[in-house]
């Protein structure tokens, strides 16, 4: 897999039923390695080790209902009261992060009402903070530590 703009870590990979898999420590199981999954596992490691996000407050593949359609958020980070705080959307490194990607995560946020939205393709990472009182948002220079959310 491609090198990412994220810290390297000891990835647990294996082969199951003839397919390469990677261990997802949040779901506590092996999942098929796709370029997007490669980004997700590296980004989760970054949040846990570099930004001190509590592992028990992060969940992958969270189902939501949007306009009578079932959707899945790649990752949701919760506050200590289990209110959604951050939604994260991952793309493969070969996918450019465009307004269409942000439109997708904004639609998910219509349901979850998180304060932060993050999009990453493993090479570029964008984080914006939503100000619901003013009805606007601002992009942050870096991904905040959990204690700063």
Mapping DSSP to helix (H, G, I), strand (E, B) and coil, where does residue 145 land?
coil
> Taking the model in full, what pTM does it have?
0.94
- Burial (CB count within 10 angstroms: exposed 0-12, middle 13-18, buried 19+), residue 22: buried
What was the pLDDT predicted at 141?
95
- Distance of alpha carbon 115 from alpha carbon 131, whole angstroms: 7
Output the CA–CA distances (angstroms, integers) from residue 30 to 9, 15, 142, in the order listed: 16, 9, 30
The pLDDT of residue 136: 87
* Strand 84-90 relative to strand 125-131, pairing: unpaired
Please report, in tens digits, the pLDDT of each residue of the chain (149 residues total): 788 999 988 999 999 999 999 999 999 999 999 999 999 999 999 999 999 999 999 999 999 988 888 989 999 999 999 999 999 999 999 999 998 888 889 888 989 999 999 999 999 999 999 999 998 899 999 999 999 99
């Amino acid at each position: 897999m491609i090198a990412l703009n994220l810290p390297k870590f000891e990835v647990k990979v294996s082969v199951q039923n003839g397919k390469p898999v990677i261990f997802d420590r949040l779901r506590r199981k092996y999942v098929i390695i796709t370029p997007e999954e490669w980004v997700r596992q590296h980004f989760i490691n970054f949040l846990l080790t570099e930004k001190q996000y509590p592992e028990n407050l992060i969940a992958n593949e969270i189902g939501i209902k949007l306009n009578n359609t079932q959707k899945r958020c790649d990752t949701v980070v919760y506050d200590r009261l289990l209110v959604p705080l951050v939604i994260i959307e991952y793309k493969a490194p070969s996918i450019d992060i465009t307004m269409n990607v942000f439109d997708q995560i904004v639609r998910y946020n219509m349901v979850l009402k998180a304060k932060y939205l993050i999009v990453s393709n493993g090479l570029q990472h964008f984080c914006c903070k939503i100000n619901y009182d003013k009805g606007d948002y601002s992009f942050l220079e870096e991904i905040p530590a959990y204690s700063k959310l």
